[in-house]
Structure 1
Amino acid sequence: MSSTPRNLAALAGITAAAVAIGAAEPVAVLTGPRSAPLVAVGGLVVDVVPEPVKQFAIDVFGTYDKIALLVGTALLLAAIAALLGLLAVRRLWIGLAGIAAFTALGVAAALTRAGADAADALPALVGGGLGALVLWAFIAGPLEVDPWPWSPPTAAPPTAAPSSATLGVDAPAGSSSLVVGPRGSGPTAGPSSADEAAPGPAGPGLSPGREPPEQVAPESRRRFLRGVGVLAGAAAVTGLGGHWLAGRRGVSAAREAVALPAPVSAAPAVPVGADLSLAQLAPYTTPTSGFYRIDTALVVPQVDPQTWRLRIHGRVRNPIELSFADLLARPMVERYVTLACVSNEVGGDLIGNARWLGVPIRELLDEVEPEEGADQVVGRSVDGWTCGTPTAVLRDGRDALLAVGMNGEPLPVEHGFPVRMVVPGLYGYVSACKWVTELELTSFADFDAYWVPRGWSAQGPVKTQSRIDTPRPRNRITAGPVVVAGVAWAQHRGVSRVEVRVDGGPWRDATLAPTVSVDTWVQWSWRWDATPGEHTLQVRATDATGETQTGRERPVEPDGATGWHTVQVTVR
């Protein structure tokens, strides 16, 4: 058993874990950021965590769900590392075995990711080895100890029994003595038995025969803490340095060097009045920096356009492979398309409208000639994620694109650079494959894409939806004329009508702003003569097929939320 105190043992375990994670980062620069243990294990968590937990994270953290997962994983690891440090005090091999188990988990997580090779095990192996070495050094290394700081008083030498002359009285033999001190002092009671003698060597509060506890010598403790500080600092420097180097090896420079070709068919001009330019109302075109991002990638894949390849294969007569240069050489079209995430709650903001540049997927499918029964096109990302899109949808004339540009620039890296899929009218989980490297023709009967085994529908057409952007919930507004406004969408069908009601009263028609096409959302507005008090506003939309948005409230799983967006406001 080590002499390391509990608090220092827990600190040793946490330091060992920090060294393991920090040391792995520079190695992951060479093997790829997805092989870093924290990211690899986090990715494994994303794949295996129950769907309700995953949806809860999206609901609570939104687009920051990945950061929350990494921070939560690090905190959990710190707690387990502290426990391993405590266990190592009793049995060193238990702590080392725990580190070995976590190393094996990191190796397994890295090697099971799509496209992994043997080198991806190195970050976890290097980090785990150094972490074990640190734990061994802290726990097995001797600490100087001081004895219990209380030192018992030296027993006073026996004194002669006072004489009657001293006492001034005759004292009967065997009775308790009344000892009188020097002239002028008061009398004190002397001990009447041996049990009341001065404390023995066990010290105060300790029973006879019990060993006094030991404390780490101050200088030894200072050396221990200095070692913790140095190693923790080194771990932080190497970890952050590894991230910095990974960024330097990214594809930002390659993206900046891309010159997008002019489209043979430009996007229609945005009609005058399509954007009402009201405070709190989402702009008609979503800025690229504000476009939502929902995917399973804990680290953004860095795909070099020089080495990127797209395979179109499977149940086709003429499989093809294209380079990025091949794709850019093809005729490009530019279109406004509104994309929506299936995880978007009623009234949520996981939706955006952008101008996309790309090659029509329909033309590529015509070239490869899908076989009879190949009713699904599986888009496969560089990180192994898959989505399944109906082949018929990609060939029915809508502007489904292999996009290379967004709002006039090359795709941002976090939005799929160099190439992604954009399909109007379908939720992203069945169509919007980022960092796409494969299109495989198959059938829904033969293959389930990533989200289908996790409880989501195989096909996800976007539902007709609407949202109130202004006034916002719990806004306090002044009585009188108030503009109620928002957006509505029914991609590839179009919105024909939006209605608003107050406090459950009759539905009133809102005014629709002009829009580019049926593939984008539309802004709407309604003038309300607000009266003082608490009020409830609701909105519903009707698409161009005549189907009105249902008021039945349903969660996002398995194929998108339903219900009327409801806002509570206070009028003064």
Structure 2
Amino acid sequence: MGSNDVRTREPVAVRSDEPSDPVPGWASALAGVAAGAVGLGIAQLAAGLIDGGAFPVVAVGESLIDLSPAPLKEWAIRTFGEDDKTVLVGGVFVVLALVSAGLGVLARHRFAHGAAGFGLFAIAGLLAVLTRPDAAAVDALPTVIGVAASLWALALLLRRMTRSYVPEPYEEPWDADGTADGTAGGTADDTAEGAAADGAERPVVMRAGADLRAFDRRALLTGVAGGAVVAGIGGFVGTALAGRKEVAAARADLTLPAPAVPAKPLPPGADLKIKGLAPFVTPNADFYRVDTAVLPPQVDPATWTLKIHGMVDRPIEITFAELIRRPLIEADVTLTCVSNEVGGPYVGNARWLGARMADILRSAGIRSGADMLLSTSADGWTCGTPVDVVMDGRDALFAIAMNGEALSVDHGFPVRQVVPGLYGYVSATKWVTEIKVTRFDQDTAYWTPRGWSEKGPIKTQSRIDVPQSGASVPAGRTTIAGVAWAQHRGMDAVEVQVDDGDWRLARLAETPGPDTWRQWSIEADLTKGKHTIAVRATDATGATQTASLAPPAPDGATGYHTINVQAV
């Protein structure tokens, strides 16, 4: 044909070089791993709410242990020692990750195949969970919920990683005779040149076979990151909940041993039983709690150990079972927090049961020159206690119980320190797991760099409980009462002053020893009107507390506790 002939626009053979599946295999595998992680995190959360043993990974691990032949178990113990269970559970996680990756690849081609794979894992998990001796039907829920979460996450990720797109217009190159060349790889420039050569319009066609979907790497990675966050939060919270339940069960099952040295009965008159006056023995539920733990550590006594090392002849490590087999003693001891303001509530008295710290430290052999015990709690908090105080014969204890009950988690279960005569920040380590025998010039405890003194001997203090500050009281004879303390020195006298009158001696209650607070009371005649009442104490060394007001930092508050009342 001539160059001026008009050619009919006819559809030409279409290209089929676009892939029908735009998603690479590694992306599907990554989606499968992320989905599996989401399922495990959600399952752990559900198990924590229901029963820690219902977590399918743990149940499968326990089943593998039960089914393993004896030689394999012995090899694992020889090879991994105490870490054999950790290695086993880690292996289960690795296998789950690999299989989840494979299921993700299967689901890319046909989602039902991937779903069936996760279903098989659900069956294995259910068998492991429900064949436990103490299993209940509700224990199946974590596995079912976890698999459902995995399938939901996998479907979501597979959708996220592809996006719709509109293919670029494509013009086939034409031969000089006006027929389609059909040669692959023609460019837009080639097409433009062909059109310019003869002035004819060329039909614009689309590549055939394009499924109008494209791989979206960014959407996949953000989705995987979101799944990792969900899995991490679910696993963390579920583990914490499961640990809390396990520790609560261990505490409930603990039978306290009888003390080798029981405390003497409280002397008659130790508690004046005046309404509004703090009782001599502080109920456990009312005992103050001051520590740095946002969530109290959940420490299982079955795995708890106390390590003593540093400047010792024989480093030792004691289990809870070994600790409670030691001769235990009971002691009435009042604890005080250094942050207690004058007249404040951070003081309480209890009967403690525990092993003498001095006896255990002697078994390790403290070397000459050591003057500090750097104790560490399960949450990493540290405390520096003077060695001489612990070793001077007072009832310094590794305590396991207070007021006849195992320590609550809030108060240090399974083991805490109790040292009479020192503020808690340098003595009363809860959840204690380690003692480093060292020196104050070589190590530093938690509060010292924060401005508190290295050593915190308790200062003589007194408090008015009755009447309360700002109260209205009947004019005439009025009972004034409170508590006073000077641990390990003892209390010798308490005096009360009304307005600018003379200091008058109050009546002191009985006390079992120098390590507890002491109740006091006095009667005063109050005329109608406003009155100011103050109290001061004198310890058994003859030292009277100072009137000079000072804040708690750096080594304890000072000053007289003073209240104002209205007699009507």
TM-score (norm 1): 0.59
Gaps of 5+ in 1: 1-21, 34-129, 141-233
Counterpart among 372, 375, 380 of residue 376 in structure 1: 372
Counterpart among 361, 370, 378 of residue 357 in structure 2: 361
CA distance in 1, matches of 2:341, 2:43: 40
CA distance in 2, matches of 1:320, 1:498: 45
Q: Secondary structure at the match of 1:251?
A: helix
Q: Which residue is equivalent to 1:477? A: 473
Contact 2:490 2:515 in 1 (8 A): yes
Counterpart among 278, 294, 297 of residue 293 in structure 2: 297
Contact 1:23 1:239 in 2 (8 A): no
Query: Following TM superposition, by how much is the alpha carbon of 1:373 offset from its aligned partner in structure 2, in angstroms?
Result: 1.0
Counterpart mapping for 1:266-281 below 5 A: 266-281=262-277
CA distance in 2, matches of 1:244, 1:511: 50
Alignment partner of 1:396 is 2:392: yes
Q: Which residue is equivalent to 1:518? A: 514
CA distance in 2, matches of 1:282, 1:248: 31
Contact 1:25 1:243 in 2 (8 A): no
The amino acid of 1:412's aligned partner reads S
Counterpart among 307, 329, 334 of residue 330 in structure 2: 334
Contact 1:339 1:352 in 2 (8 A): yes
Query: Following TM superposition, by how much is the alpha carbon of 1:311 offset from its aligned partner in structure 2, in angstroms?
Result: 0.7
Q: Which residue is equivalent to 2:254? A: 258
CA distance in 2, matches of 1:27, 1:298: 25
The amino acid of 2:331's aligned partner reads R
Q: Secondary structure at the match of 1:362?
A: helix
CA distance in 1, matches of 2:555, 2:39: 43
For the aligned residues, what is the CA RMSD?
3.2
Name the CA shift for 1:294/1:280 in 2 (closer, same or farther; >3 Å). Answer: same
Contact 1:26 1:241 in 2 (8 A): no
Name the CA shift for 1:29/1:309 in 2 (closer, same or farther; >3 Å). Answer: farther
Name the CA shift for 1:243/1:372 in 2 (closer, same or farther; >3 Å). Answer: closer
Q: Which residue is equivalent to 1:325? A: 321
Q: Secondary structure at the match of 1:272?
A: coil
CA distance in 1, matches of 2:495, 2:43: 58
Name the CA shift for 1:24/1:374 in 2 (closer, same or farther; >3 Å). Answer: farther
Counterpart mapping for 1:91-110 below 5 A: none
Name the CA shift for 1:26/1:283 in 2 (closer, same or farther; >3 Å). Answer: farther
CA distance in 1, matches of 2:406, 2:258: 12
Query: Following TM superposition, by how much is the alpha carbon of 1:366 offset from its aligned partner in structure 2, in angstroms?
Result: 1.3
Contact 2:45 2:237 in 1 (8 A): no
CA distance in 2, matches of 1:32, 1:493: 48
Deviations 1:289-313 (A, max 9, x none): 1100000110111111111111111
Q: Secondary structure at the match of 1:504?
A: coil
CA distance in 1, matches of 2:42, 2:292: 23
The amino acid of 1:407's aligned partner reads N
Name the CA shift for 1:265/1:244 in 2 (closer, same or farther; >3 Å). Answer: closer
Contact 1:23 1:238 in 2 (8 A): no
Q: Which residue is equivalent to 1:422? A: 418
Query: Following TM superposition, by how much is the alpha carbon of 1:367 offset from its aligned partner in structure 2, in angstroms?
Result: 1.2
Name the CA shift for 1:23/1:335 in 2 (closer, same or farther; >3 Å). Answer: farther
Counterpart among 502, 505, 525 of residue 529 in structure 1: 525
Name the CA shift for 1:321/1:242 in 2 (closer, same or farther; >3 Å). Answer: closer
CA distance in 2, matches of 1:396, 1:502: 40
Q: Which residue is equivalent to 1:286? A: 282
**Structure 1 moving runs of 4+ over 2 Å:** 22-33, 237-250
Query: Following TM superposition, by how much is the alpha carbon of 1:28 offset from its aligned partner in structure 2, in angstroms?
Result: 8.3
Gaps of 5+ in 2: 1-37, 50-152, 164-229
Name the CA shift for 1:538/1:242 in 2 (closer, same or farther; >3 Å). Answer: same
The amino acid of 2:551's aligned partner reads P
CA distance in 2, matches of 1:27, 1:489: 52
The amino acid of 2:336's aligned partner reads A
Counterpart among 441, 450, 457 of residue 453 in structure 2: 457
The amino acid of 2:505's aligned partner reads D
CA distance in 2, matches of 1:457, 1:304: 33
The amino acid of 2:306's aligned partner reads L
